[in-house]
A and B are shown apart, each in its own frame.
Chain A
């Protein structure tokens, strides 16, 4: 047997063991992976997985708003269309802010793994400031549109637009409240196991918000403003 496997050119070198130990039973028990003999997964995994399921159902809810927008995007009822209303420089800045905040959120996650309190707090704070700047730009945009008489009651297109983008903005606002809570809890309670679980869920939430924003700036703004 060993002579055969030794002759294979792509044979796995024995120096680095397979971290998942495929075919060699599970890490926290004796059964094979997925057979449940090792008992339930750790609380960190189950909590984050449950939050992952929530995020996916949240994204499915967003998909209904996207579907409504896609169907109603042309129904402008004689009012202003997307290319009259959308300011792409503002959208570009918003995209940059949210993308950078997603990046700094990840840096905060790395710092929390080093158990580095100062840098974790700094990166969380930077994430919060960038998120707040994003939200301010969005509120300004909405206020300007409503002032021009292009509020959500003007046309079906604008109803769908305000529902979709406003729902994302609401999520960012909720995320900012959560972020403030996490900064305070981390400061007072330190890197406890439960605080690290909440931080993990917050990071997932923030990255998911950026993923939804990708769909919004592409399908709503860029497509709506293109001639």
Chain B
């Protein structure tokens, strides 16, 4: 109980963490200055990896888009963990669930649009074909 009494007033609520709250200072790797430095370093590495993957011929050409998407998602994860301090702890359940719903809608909108429009283009093909014949 003693460590609860010494917290600043915005930490007084133990059941819920505010999104981005600097709560995990003491024991966790993702907290405090070390957490920000680690996150910064990882983000720089992932950014460099994206630029290298896109520009050099290291990666098989048709696979570049997959590599870039994976690297981008990884870097977003680094930001969420080290900068926004999202954890899987019970005090973060509300934040994670809201994020999960947001990600769900984003995936529906983006992948759904791309999927439908690609099929639409595909079904339009016979028109060009008739003209060419």
| Chain A complexes with chain B | yes
Binding site for B on A (CB under 8 A): 19-22, 26-28, 33-34, 38, 41-42, 44-45, 47-49, 51-53, 56-57, 59-60, 63-64, 66-68, 70-71, 88, 92, 95-96, 99-100, 102-103, 106-107, 109-110, 113, 193, 196, 200, 203-204, 207, 210-211, 214-215, 217-219, 222-223, 225-227
A210 to B76, CA, bound (A): 9
Establish whether residues A33 and B106, one from each chain, have CB atoms under 8 Å apart when the complex forms.
no
Q: Given A28-B14, A70-B110, A107-B33 in contact, is the A49-B83 Cβ separation under 8 Å? A: no
A56 to B100, CA, bound (A): 10
Establish whether residues A48 and B33, one from each chain, have CB atoms under 8 Å apart when the complex forms.
no
Chain B interface secondary structure, helix, strand, loop or mixed? helix
| Contact string against A for B residues 1-33, beta-carbon threshold 8 Å, 1 for contact and 0 otherwise | 000100011101111111111100100000011
Q: List 19 A-B contacts (CB under 8 A).
A: A20-B89, A26-B15, A45-B21, A47-B18, A48-B20, A56-B101, A59-B102, A60-B106, A67-B112, A68-B113, A96-B47, A99-B47, A110-B36, A193-B9, A196-B10, A211-B79, A211-B80, A214-B79, A223-B68
Binding site for A on B (CB under 8 A): 4, 8-10, 12-22, 25, 32-33, 36, 39-40, 43-44, 47, 50-51, 54-55, 61, 64-65, 68-69, 71-72, 75-76, 79-80, 83-84, 89-91, 93-95, 98-99, 101-102, 105-106, 109-110, 112-114, 117
A29 to B75, CA, bound (A): 38
Establish whether residues B33 and A71, one from each chain, have CB atoms under 8 Å apart when the complex forms.
no
Establish whether residues B14 and A19, one from each chain, have CB atoms under 8 Å apart when the complex forms.
yes
Looking at the assembled complex, report how far the CB atom of A5 sits from the nearest CB atom of chain B, in whole angstroms.
21
Establish whether residues B13 and A28, one from each chain, have CB atoms under 8 Å apart when the complex forms.
yes
Establish whether residues A52 and B95, one from each chain, have CB atoms under 8 Å apart when the complex forms.
yes
Q: Given A103-B36, A218-B50 in contact, is the A71-B114 Cβ separation under 8 Å? A: yes
Establish whether residues A226 and B72, one from each chain, have CB atoms under 8 Å apart when the complex forms.
no
Q: Which of these, B21, B39, B51, B113, contacts A92 with CB under 8 Å?
A: B51
Establish whether residues A223 and B79, one from each chain, have CB atoms under 8 Å apart when the complex forms.
no
Establish whether residues B90 and A66, one from each chain, have CB atoms under 8 Å apart when the complex forms.
no
